[in-house]
Structure 1
Amino acid sequence: MNRSFLNRSDHEYSSVGQSYAVAEQKAVHYFNQLHRHVSERTYESGLSADFRQWKGKHMSFTSRLSRWLPLKQQPSAKGYQRYIHWLHSAGKLDDYLHRSVAYIYMRDLGRALDAPQTQQRVREVVDSLKRKLLNASTASASAAQLPEFMSMDGVYRWAQREGVEDAVIWVLDKLQQVTTHIPAELNAEQAQRKLIKIIVGVVLHAVEEMDDSVPQHERSHRLDEAIRLGYSYGLTYPFIDDMLDSKLLSDLEKEQYSRLIRSALLTGSVPKLGDWSGSQPELIRYIHRELREAFEYIKARQQPGGGQQHFFEQAYVFFQAQDVDRTRTLENDAYTNEELYVPVILKSACSRLVARSILGAEEDEGFELRTFCYGIYNQLADDFADLFDDLANGAVTPYTYYLKYYQQRADLLNPFQMYWAVIHYLLHEVYRSDEQTCEVILDRAINSLKRAYERLGASRYAETMELLTQGMPGLNRIIQQMVRQAEDVDFLDKLLRDHMLLHLRQDREQQTEFRETVDNVRAQINQTLPVEKRDGLLPMNELLIDAVNYSLEGSGKRLRPILAWVMAVRHYGLQADAVMPMLRSLEYMHTASLIFDDLPSQDNAPARRGRKTLHELHDSATAELSGLFLIQKSIREQASLSGFAPQIVLQLMDYSAQKAEELCTGQAMDLRARGQQLTLEQLNDICFYKTGAAFEASLVMPALLAGAKESEMTVLQTFAYHAGIAFQIKDDLLDLQGDVVQLGKPVGQDESNDSSTFVSVLGEAGAQREMWNHYCCALEALRKLPVGIPFLKHLLDYIVHRER
């Protein structure tokens, strides 16, 4: 046991260990109250009356005809902005946003909707949200594809407004690493969604704790901490909850893993991993390192005394409830109702209590009661939605256990009846029959069933309802009438959830396609790059060709010709064979520029692409002549383009020569600037000429061959400008932070050459911010294209996250 940890006494450790027993007693009391309502069926008459009052707002004359018609379908929500526009034109947007925002305040923030302050905040958020959504809906179709918090550039623009760029850069890098490490056995999209949701939720808590009187620097500080705390807490979902629920680890490994987590919560110190003898050792080491860092960050920001104690107790109860819940098996036919429901009550309540406690935020009167009682409502709704997946996976939930044993066990509580009993208890015991709360909760309940109907289909839904609604025929008739006929019960968070999952799935598929395209096209280009030796060559010709081919070999990324291939073949539909000379010309020109850059008279680099530079292998003269050889070879490749109008080829050659001149200009500017302190504007100019010009050529040359419009080429030039600078900034950062083995060249070269870089001018953090600013500018340019090019978006992601 770590005695030094915050000077916690044995009594405090004991208190954390005993906290589960205390919380369990509270949950048992709540369960007994719910059990009584189900047994005595007291909830039915109350909810029937609630629905009679509720349905007047949700059933039009048209909806009443639906008893003879198929279930009414809402307009497609695949493009959420189109759906928002439809709601606005139908006069439904205000009510839609009001119930959506009110629900978030009730569910995620634990607020009472009848509180004047909450009502005021809901109105303010609705007005702000409406303006943003309607402004976004007037943008171009390509720009309206994602809400702000679901796109990296949108999040970064928000960060700039709030002064939390460093925290957002940090969390975006972390999310990228997590995404990379999520194993195939886990649902990657759901894991990412839950992690993002927790971060957003913790930030929302922080925002709601501040009013206009909080100075901007203090607001930025609190939001910075909230982002990092949200990630640190949210990491437990993919790397504790999902890991222990999955089949990735054996039972013995899960037991070992759980002991590590429990020990950290009880002692306040993360145990060493030691030798992990099981499967996935590298993954487990990464997860252990990330969780330890997250744990230490949360621990360091807890208020000494009661607040700190409260956090550890809540966290322990949350973990222990999950552990009890997950270790049950469907094969055990002897679980009592209390054993089935109490852990569910605890884990569902504590998940939100912990999210608030990590901020040390003050709680208004009734917060803990509302949050504690509310959790099981949300959990039972989720368990119903996942019913058949849980059955297939052998997971124990109140629903799966009931379906397996209800014919054998007359004592088992029907979870669907329990669900409605919880709703009645919340409405009338916790929220004091507040009219708006009743509206929102019943909206949500009917919406969940409507979504189940759409997901399961009419036949399977009817079979499921017939089984689960035995014993509540009167209330069920009302509920199913509402499912068929009620309108205006959908919610923004569900729309965004579906859209986020779709986006994450598409993004993951596009990432895979991006990597496959890069690998496949690189292989094609590598095969065609070597310069052939013709018969009858002079010995010196053979020496130069060997030198040229040496420079073309190695671990070159080939980004420029790969990018040109994607634009020419995928975007413009040109024939791959026809554009191959253009691809070779780009790589020949790029390699020539590297040979010249590496010379002793310029950068004096000893290594490139993991090998000696050409002048180190031979001499400077051979290197210079090889560079000239490649430039001429590049021109000849362009001249050999066939199947295109001669004037187009000449235009391409003229444009290529212009870009070659700019490359020379950029290198000359760079050499002249050594030993000088440059401005950001001067750095941007040098960077564009050295790097951005070549990116531009890779985009514009295929556009020229395809006869693209001038307006499209202008957009591509803007994209290339910002992508090229982002690429160079990342190079500068890698020169500071990178690994020589991964980079294939020495690190610290800029400093030894006394070169001004983005890092030397702006500092490491400033360079990171500038890189992400150019990332955003590049993406914003892309959205102006008439047809999206996913490869370019993922190229940008690669640029900012690459390690070489």
Structure 2
Amino acid sequence: MNEELINSANSIYRQAEKKAAQYFKSLHEQVMKKTYAPLLTKDIKSWKHNHIHHHSFLSYLSRRKGKSNIQEGYHNYIQWLYYTGKLDSYLDRSISYIFMRDLGRDLNSTDTQTRIRSIVDSLKDYLIKDKSDKPELFSMAGLYRFAQKEGVESAMIWVMNKLKTVSTNIPKEMDADQAQRKLIKIIAGVVMQETEEMGDKISPDERASRLDKAIRLGYCYGLTYPFIDDLLDSNVLSTKEKKQYSDLIRTTLITGSVPEMGEWHGKTKELIRYIHSELRDAFEYLKAHQQPETSKNFFEHAYVFFNSQEVDRLKDLSNAGYTNEELYIPIILKSASSRLIVRSVIRAPEDEEIDSRTFYYGIYNQLADDFTDMFEDMKDGAVTPYTYYLEYHDIRPDLINPFELYWTVISNLIHNVYNSDPKTCEVILDRVINGLKRFKERMGNEKYKEVMELFFSGNPKFNKVIQQLVRKADDVDFFDKLLRDHILTILKNERKEREYFSETIEAVRNEINTILIIPKDQKKPLIKEPIIDAANYSLEGDGKRLRPIMTWLMAVNEYGLDKSAITPLLRSLEYMHTASLIFDDLPSQDNASIRRGHPTLHQVYNTAIAELTGLFLTQKATNEQALLDKFDSKTVLNLIQYSSQMTADMCKGQAMDLDSKGKQLTLEQLNMMSFYKTGIAFEASLVMPAILAEANKSEIAALKNYAYHTGIAFQIKDDLLDVEGDWNLLGKSTNKDAENNNSTFVSILGPGGARKAMWEHYCLAIEALQKMPHNTTFLKHILNYFVNRDY
């Protein structure tokens, strides 16, 4: 690497160190004089009026109910805050804190106060209005609906696909849910920065364009957390691999170009290949969207951030000789530069006041986080101010007590950085006491008391003041903490549900595969039965069995029907579906050569046998339905009547498809044809078990609505896969639609428009599920599978 570039990078880091050293020296002097205690004690006296009250018995019950609700869930707690009149102040302190921490704003500014009030009002309106027919905001449907409102659908589709891919590539030694949460948080933070920078006086098109870029930039920057910081902190890589990987990152930041991966040995080769490719693309996107006036800041902050993390990461807890400066200066640098980067990422103009506040504020968050995580860090052998103090305070009287420095930082922020502004004091003290309350709840009373006695050993009087607040203070919780826990809960539940769904799908598929084969007539052993052989050839292919699986899950999991009782229905659905594929593949129709990874039936036998086999399976399907003898005969008759009508409609759909070849269809015509070809089969898979369970009309109507939109979304994905898919995964040829001159969603809307249409139908299907009285988790996951599948 060029010596001049290395020297320049080192010079930049030394300059940053010098500034951090001056800040640390100022804090150190305040610690030694213990100026924080009298100043904060005075602040607390006025703060207590809003947060410590003498409660009646009824208000005590109300408080207990509120605490219960925060544990029970996000929505319940928000509703409790609203009904008790606490929601406004809750949101005000939460948004105010974000403006301080993430945006570097001065809460004493009239413009900032006006903006905070506006956000609080709109957020409150969103949180309290009835959302019974709207998807959860942090679900895929909720995010897409948000994207539609802002005109950034393409960026949201892109980033949702990226998040899905990242989560599947997080090694098991790392926390995939936390990685996703961090990425979502950083994307949201970059979008928020961009929103505040551009204001509300720009055109909708300009706003959409800037938000589109902010979403992509947020992902590109956020990717560094799981794939640089978290990866290097984990045990996924060996010591040698960490050195090689760190050198790659360092070279990139110094030269401005991503080097080749080079030789890589060991089990992590494929992982690093993927990460290298993804980070390279992210870096190139970030670099391409810089301007000359912001590019310098971006690279300088990025290098300081990475190098300070490396300095910290390489510390060894067994080394008893680190100075206070060595412990604290790197965390001042990394905590400040991590947020300063964001402004350069979105190409915000330089603002000395914002940069200054951000620089001084960073260490507060870092010390608060390190305090929360100190026992996990101790277990991992990580060096932080807290773990190092726990390890060596008995033999190193020169070590600064990190908790004293923490309170000094708080005092310094309130009085020296924010000039004793009452609102700032209020919000910071709210946050501090909330952090201690959460820590106490997590640790338990005894452990908490032990920790406080150690860290407050030099100032028991101040400790007494603080512990009174921790015990008695009300209204100090924050929306971002609730949201963080809520998102983590969603991600963890989603992961568990997906795993259960996948396991169940595989088990049910295997079970269905064992019941499909049609036995030969043993009474006529001398007569060949080519139709049965042909039918079994088609049935034995590598089918996904989606329709009978949907029926099994609906019938058994949701309606509690007996598994053995519905076996004929499962056969019937797969027989009917396989018959439709045989007809679809015929030379007179789509003339397909591959189906389910094998040659199509008419190629193995002949067209006549294929036609007869399709008819044979159609009749077998009806015969199976007539064998549903565990149900009321009138109910079975209704089911057969419904099934016959659906079969007739499917034939109409295929006839429409054949008639459409070579013709330019409208979107409305294509939607109708897709429903008849695909949606009807999904509808039947759900409605037939509902008929057997004698479900009411409104429930069946909701299922039909879900199936309609699911079928169209499925067909759009099929059209996209026909253009973009891998035929080895698909088990059939690609580009057949173009060869046959068929109108598809891709040919009408283009790939981007087709994706938007697919996600619109996805949202409509999810919204239909919200009208269902049953637990519809598996239907949501089936829909997720349809739109995210690779084959």
State the secondary structure of the residue aligned to 2:523.
coil
Q: Distance in 2 between matches of 1:65 and 1:649?
A: 57
1:57 maps to 50
**Do the aligned residues in 2 keep the contact of 1:589 with 1:634 (CA within 8 Å)?**
yes
Corresponding letter in the other structure for 1:151: S
Residue 540 (structure 1) shift: 6.2
Cα deviations across residues 332-364 of structure 1 (Å, max 9, x unaligned)?
111111111111111111111112211111244
Choose which of 709, 712, 736 in structure 2 pairs with 1:722: 709
Aligned length: 788
Structure 1 residue 36 and structure 2 residue 36: aligned? no
Choose which of 776, 781, 791 in structure 2 pairs with 1:789: 776
Structure 2: stretches of 5+ with no match in the other structure: none
1:660 maps to 647
State the secondary structure of the residue aligned to 1:557.
coil
After superposition, the Cα gap between the structure-2 partners of 1:128 and 1:65, relative to the gap in structure 1 and judged at 3 Å, is closer
1:255 maps to 243
Choose which of 656, 677, 699 in structure 2 pairs with 1:690: 677
2:127 maps to 133
Corresponding letter in the other structure for 2:731: G
Q: Distance in 2 between matches of 1:307 and 1:372?
A: 18
Task: Tell me which moved more, 18-27 or 508-517.
Answer: 18-27
2:93 maps to 99
Alignment of 1:321-340 (within 5 A): 321-340=308-327
% identical aligned pairs: 58
Residue 185 (structure 1) shift: 0.4
Q: Distance in 2 between matches of 1:662 and 1:308?
A: 61
1:7 maps to none
Choose which of 202, 220, 236 in structure 1 pairs with 2:224: 236
Residue 476 (structure 1) shift: 1.1
Cα deviations across residues 235-270 of structure 1 (Å, max 9, x unaligned)?
111111111111111111111111111111111111
Q: Distance in 2 between matches of 1:785 and 1:629?
A: 36
**Do the aligned residues in 1 keep the contact of 2:558 with 2:775 (CA within 8 Å)?**
no
Alignment of 1:62-73 (within 5 A): 62=55
Structural RMSD (CA): 1.8
Residue 319 (structure 1) shift: 0.6
**Do the aligned residues in 2 keep the contact of 1:27 with 1:345 (CA within 8 Å)?**
yes
Q: Distance in 2 between matches of 1:64 and 1:454?
A: 23
After superposition, the Cα gap between the structure-2 partners of 1:431 and 1:127, relative to the gap in structure 1 and judged at 3 Å, is same
Alignment of 1:720-759 (within 5 A): 720-759=707-746
Choose which of 686, 691, 694 in structure 2 pairs with 1:704: 691
2:505 maps to 518
After superposition, the Cα gap between the structure-2 partners of 1:677 and 1:546, relative to the gap in structure 1 and judged at 3 Å, is same
Structure 1 residue 607 and structure 2 residue 594: aligned? yes
Structure 1 residue 87 and structure 2 residue 74: aligned? no
After superposition, the Cα gap between the structure-2 partners of 1:276 and 1:155, relative to the gap in structure 1 and judged at 3 Å, is same
TM-score (norm 1): 0.96
Q: Distance in 2 between matches of 1:481 and 1:790?
A: 45
Structure 1 residue 21 and structure 2 residue 14: aligned? yes
Structure 1 residue 200 and structure 2 residue 193: aligned? no
**Do the aligned residues in 1 keep the contact of 2:36 with 2:407 (CA within 8 Å)?**
yes
**Do the aligned residues in 2 keep the contact of 1:47 with 1:475 (CA within 8 Å)?**
no
Residue 538 (structure 1) shift: 6.6
1:75 maps to 68
**Do the aligned residues in 2 keep the contact of 1:17 with 1:266 (CA within 8 Å)?**
no
Residue 37 (structure 1) shift: 1.1
Structure 1 residue 180 and structure 2 residue 173: aligned? no
Cα deviations across residues 200-222 of structure 1 (Å, max 9, x unaligned)?
00001111112332111111110
State the secondary structure of the residue aligned to 1:209.
helix
Residue 182 (structure 1) shift: 1.1
Alignment of 1:374-453 (within 5 A): 374-453=361-440
Cα deviations across residues 586-608 of structure 1 (Å, max 9, x unaligned)?
11100100000000000000001
Corresponding letter in the other structure for 1:297: Y
Q: Distance in 1 between matches of 2:326 and 2:280?
A: 32
Residue 76 (structure 1) shift: 2.1
After superposition, the Cα gap between the structure-2 partners of 1:64 and 1:620, relative to the gap in structure 1 and judged at 3 Å, is closer
Residue 683 (structure 1) shift: 0.5
**Do the aligned residues in 2 keep the contact of 1:109 with 1:205 (CA within 8 Å)?**
yes
State the secondary structure of the residue aligned to 1:564.
helix
State the secondary structure of the residue aligned to 1:343.
helix
Task: Tell me which moved more, 684-693 or 462-471.
Answer: 462-471
Cα deviations across residues 64-98 of structure 1 (Å, max 9, x unaligned)?
9999xx99972322322221111111111111110
**Do the aligned residues in 2 keep the contact of 1:63 with 1:487 (CA within 8 Å)?**
no
Q: Distance in 1 between matches of 2:389 and 2:651?
A: 75
Q: Distance in 2 between matches of 1:355 and 1:265?
A: 16
Cα deviations across residues 301-347 of structure 1 (Å, max 9, x unaligned)?
0002x311110010011111111111112111111111111111111
Cα deviations across residues 169-201 of structure 1 (Å, max 9, x unaligned)?
000100110111111100111111000000000
Residue 12 (structure 1) shift: 6.7
Q: Distance in 2 between matches of 1:133 and 1:93?
A: 10
2:530 maps to 543
State the secondary structure of the residue aligned to 1:74.
helix
After superposition, the Cα gap between the structure-2 partners of 1:338 and 1:483, relative to the gap in structure 1 and judged at 3 Å, is same
Q: Distance in 2 between matches of 1:444 and 1:64?
A: 27
The runs of at least 4 aligned residues of structure 1 exceeding 6 Å deviation read 10-13, 63-67, 70-73
State the secondary structure of the residue aligned to 2:198.
coil
Alignment of 1:444-463 (within 5 A): 444-463=431-450
Residue 773 (structure 1) shift: 0.5
Task: Tell me which moved more, 270-279 or 47-56.
Answer: 270-279
**Do the aligned residues in 1 keep the contact of 2:583 with 2:614 (CA within 8 Å)?**
yes
Residue 63 (structure 1) shift: 8.9
2:207 maps to 219
1:122 maps to 116
**Do the aligned residues in 2 keep the contact of 1:99 with 1:491 (CA within 8 Å)?**
yes
Choose which of 291, 301, 306 in structure 1 pairs with 2:279: 291
Q: Distance in 1 between matches of 2:537 and 2:262?
A: 45
State the secondary structure of the residue aligned to 2:521.
coil
1:5 maps to none
Q: Distance in 1 between matches of 2:533 and 2:629?
A: 28
Corresponding letter in the other structure for 2:95: V
Cα deviations across residues 641-666 of structure 1 (Å, max 9, x unaligned)?
12110111111111111111111111
Q: Distance in 2 between matches of 1:651 and 1:109?
A: 63
Q: Distance in 2 between matches of 1:118 and 1:362?
A: 18
Corresponding letter in the other structure for 2:288: A
Structure 1 residue 48 and structure 2 residue 35: aligned? no
**Do the aligned residues in 1 keep the contact of 2:173 with 2:236 (CA within 8 Å)?**
yes
Residue 519 (structure 1) shift: 0.8
Structure 1: stretches of 5+ with no match in the other structure: 3-9
Q: Distance in 2 between matches of 1:674 and 1:738?
A: 22
After superposition, the Cα gap between the structure-2 partners of 1:66 and 1:567, relative to the gap in structure 1 and judged at 3 Å, is closer
Structure 1 residue 578 and structure 2 residue 572: aligned? no
Q: Distance in 1 between matches of 2:89 and 2:623?
A: 66
2:516 maps to 529
Alignment of 1:599-678 (within 5 A): 599-678=586-665
**Do the aligned residues in 2 keep the contact of 1:725 with 1:774 (CA within 8 Å)?**
yes
**Do the aligned residues in 2 keep the contact of 1:64 with 1:485 (CA within 8 Å)?**
no
**Do the aligned residues in 1 keep the contact of 2:294 with 2:348 (CA within 8 Å)?**
no
Q: Distance in 1 between matches of 2:327 and 2:217?
A: 32
**Do the aligned residues in 2 keep the contact of 1:726 with 1:771 (CA within 8 Å)?**
yes
